[in-house]
Amino acid sequence: MQRPIEPAAPSFRDGAVFSESYGDTYWSLDGGLDETRHVFLSGNDLPARWQARNRFTILETGFGTGLNFLCAWRSFRETAPAGTRLHYLSVDKHPFRREDLQRLHGQWPELAPLGAELIERYPPLIPGFHRLHLDGGRVALTLLWGEAADMLAQVEARVDAFFLDGFAPSRNPDMWSAALFAQLGRLAAPGATFATYSAAGKVSRGMTAAGFAVEKQAGFGRKREMLRGRFGDTTLSEPVTDRRAMVIGGGIAGCLVAERLAARGWRIDLIERRDGLARETSGNPAGVLQPVPSADGNRLSRLTLAGFHYALRRLQEFSSDPKLIWQQCGVLRLARDDKQIERQRRIAESGLLPPEVLRWVDVEEASQLAGWRVPAPGWWFPQGGWVHPPALCDAVLRVAGNAVRLHTQREAADLVRVGNAWRAVDASGNVIAEAPVAILANGHLARRFAVAAALPLRPVRGQITCIPAEPGRAIKAVVSREGYVTPATSFGVHVVGATYEEGSTDDLAREEDHRANLERLKNLLPDFAATVDAARVGGRAGIRTVGPDRLPLVGAIPGNEGLFGLLGLGSRGLVYAPLCAELLACGIEGEPLPIERDLAAGLAPAARLDVAP
């Protein structure tokens, strides 16, 4: 069972922020900025160490006010070579609320622009991993909300520098435990360094046991000594040099993973069998963006919550594109029966999710939010909404620019390994593209290739119904239960969906499926449904792909060097695809993963081959 995050409550003592819970300050009384520069930057030989690197990773124990991060970010921005990327991971059991953090950042006017960008993307206080892209994508900040040792055990990364900045060992011994030191040793890259203001013998012994050569040096201000150290040898693994990939499938999965690789300097051939992007299931006029909370923090809940918030941050980044179409109108998830009413109310009132993420609403409030009478109470996701998937695909490829070469109306009939590269060929044997890395993002069609035939994927036909919007019939929010209905989209229709037919690959719309969707609508908004002229509705069908447990398959396809998959997104493509694209790109590049390692391992194709469809 997950526990709600208890935020830190800021108070001031002698000019520094003070923790009443731990009886210690968040920064030195002699000056926070100067302490960060002396202890953490100079103590880790920064910025000199990232000068000859294309990627550098820092892990911090104790995010606190974010001062160390902002200071490191500013130094990186000012001194790192063009093209170098910074990964910064930081854990905190009691993070500050957004409004408190914003107020505290007023202490350092020189960091104000960076602080404002951080605050704009600051994640909700929900247990787990939260990845933020900053500085135009050059800096990736991964915030880990939870107990330090537990969170670090879930990190998959190779860390170049550690900032050990928890409260003093005498005030917060859990932050300096043997289990935590062991995790630091596990995560350390060859030649990794650490620095800490503490000179306690417990810290020195713990870091020595973890494999670091530890030394003392002059501390900052009134602190006489501090510790620093280095891990193992300095032989770094060779970075990927041939950054070329081909992606098969031009829906949201293929477009998003192409963009994530392009952001890392890759060049991509994107192969799509139709005459343009998002012509299959990703071509629906609207898809719903909502998470699936649970009381026990199961894999589905954790992935959809992380994916939901990551998708929102990416959509906000892409929103400078005037052609992106989406609406953050909120989503109502109505309870199905009395048992679900009790379950939904318990989860919403548990405190696990803050009210800006999830609230329980009664029938009266739910009806006001929807703009029509609803038959049941339920969950209200104020940040949820709907997205036009084709516009999203177009927007991300505009961001990727010339790094992506699009091949439309080219169907890959076979995928073969030739030397050190994969080659996609058409039915006539003509080569469409060739690259060292190939990524399958074409749903159930991936199984047509011999190298992916064993993947546990199955097709699911889904049909949506489009209802013409009319004056005086506005719906104010997405309403969902067994099915969903959207507010009027930019195309002048309300979208109702969707049918669910396993095994079928027929993509022609059927009259009986429109009737089934209108029956769903009647169960969601009975008064609105009564105004609909069934003779005027239209719609389309598409083939979704699901795995054995309704979770996507993300990662290397066993037995095939350089072959990867982003598959099985089912009916949650908008929630899954952005985060899973980032996960796959990190895995290919050897970067820190954006989600917990047990969750990532559970999504890997290798872990799913033995699971019956």
pLDDT tens string 341-377: 999 999 999 999 999 999 999 999 999 999 999 999 9
DSSP code string of 21-32: TTTEESS-TT-H
- What pLDDT is attached to residue 549? 86
571: closest CA among 439, 453, 464? Answer: 464
Share above pLDDT 70 across residues of the chain, in percent, rounded to a whole number: 96
- What pLDDT is attached to residue 9? 85
- What pLDDT is attached to residue 221? 76
Query: What tens digit of pLDDT does each residue of 471-505 get?
Result: 989 999 999 999 999 999 999 999 999 999 999 99
Query: What tens digit of pLDDT does each residue of 159-214 get?
Result: 999 999 876 777 788 789 999 999 999 999 999 999 999 999 999 999 999 999 99
β-partners of residue 440 are 248, 565
- What pLDDT is attached to residue 331? 98
Query: What tens digit of pLDDT does each residue of 393-420 get?
Result: 999 999 999 999 999 999 999 999 999 9
Instruction: Please identify which residue in the block is written with the tokens 């935590």.
Output: 180
Contacts (Cβ under 8 Å, ≥6 apart) of 355: none
311-386+458-546 CATH choice from 3.40.50.970, 3.30.43.10, 3.30.9.10, 3.30.420.40: 3.30.9.10
Instruction: Compute the half-sphere exposure of residue 317: CA atoms within 13 Å on the CB side of its CA.
Output: 19
Contacts (Cβ under 8 Å, ≥6 apart) of 175: 61, 62, 148, 166, 167, 169
46 dihedral zone (left: phi>0; alpha: psi -120 to 50; beta): beta
Copy the structure tokens of residue 373.
């009478």
Cβ-contact 332, 370 below 8 angstroms: yes
β-partners of residue 543 are 461
- Residue 224: pLDDT band with limits 50, 70, 90: confident
Q: Phi and psi (nearest 5°) for 177?
A: -85, 165
CA pseudo-torsion sign 276, 282, 283, 286: negative
Instruction: Please identify which residue in the block is written with the tokens 């076979």.
Output: 414
- What pLDDT is attached to residue 11? 78
- What pLDDT is attached to residue 382? 98
- What pLDDT is attached to residue 571? 93
CA 296 from chain center: how many Å? 20
Query: What tens digit of pLDDT does each residue of 520-568 get?
Result: 999 999 999 999 999 999 999 999 999 988 899 999 999 999 999 999 9
- Whether the predicted pLDDT of 28 surpasses 70: no
CATH class for the region spanning 244-280+390-456+549-608: alpha beta
Q: Count the Cβ atoms, other than its own, within 10 Å of residue 263.
A: 19
Pairing of strands 414-418, 421-425: antiparallel
- What pLDDT is attached to residue 55? 96
CA–CA gap between residue 10 and residue 94 (Å, rounded)? 11
CATH number of 11-231: 3.40.50.150
Cβ-contact 487, 478 below 8 angstroms: yes
- What pLDDT is attached to residue 574? 97
CA 244 from chain center: how many Å? 24
Cβ-contact 92, 64 below 8 angstroms: yes
332, containing H or E segment: strand 331-334
Query: What tens digit of pLDDT does each residue of 300-312 get?
Result: 999 999 999 999 9
Q: 567 exposed, middle or buried (CB, 10 Å; 0-12, 13-18, 19+)?
A: buried
Cβ-contact 501, 461 below 8 angstroms: yes
Mean per-residue pLDDT for 422-436?
98
Cβ-contact 477, 369 below 8 angstroms: yes
β-partners of residue 360 are 379
Query: What tens digit of pLDDT does each residue of 379-390 get?
Result: 999 999 999 999
Pairing of strands 378-381, 331-334: antiparallel
User: Roughly what angle, to the nearest 10 degrees, separates helices 573-589 and 299-318?
Assistant: 90
Contacts (Cβ under 8 Å, ≥6 apart) of 8: 19, 21, 64, 94, 95, 96, 100
- What pLDDT is attached to residue 562? 97
- Average pLDDT of the residues of the chain: 94
CA–CA gap between residue 387 and residue 286 (Å, rounded)? 5
Cβ-contact 575, 585 below 8 angstroms: no
Query: What tens digit of pLDDT does each residue of 79-118 get?
Result: 999 999 999 999 999 999 999 999 888 888 999 999 999 9
Provide the terminal-to-terminal Cα distance of the chain, rounded to the nearest Å: 28
Beta strand ranges found along 393-492 (DSSP E): 404-408, 414-418, 421-425, 431-435, 437-440, 458-468, 478-481, 483-485
- Whether the predicted pLDDT of 612 surpasses 50: no
Cβ-contact 159, 189 below 8 angstroms: yes
DSSP code string of 339-369: HHHHHHHHHHTSSSS-TTT-EEE-HHHHHHH
Query: What tens digit of pLDDT does each residue of 42-85 get?
Result: 999 999 999 999 999 999 999 999 999 999 999 999 999 999 99
- Whether the predicted pLDDT of 29 surpasses 90: no
Q: What does the domain layout of the chain look like in residue ranges?
A: 11-231, 244-280+390-456+549-608, 311-386+458-546
Q: What CA–CA distances, in Å, run from 603 to 85, 103, 130, 146, 310?
A: 26, 39, 18, 22, 17
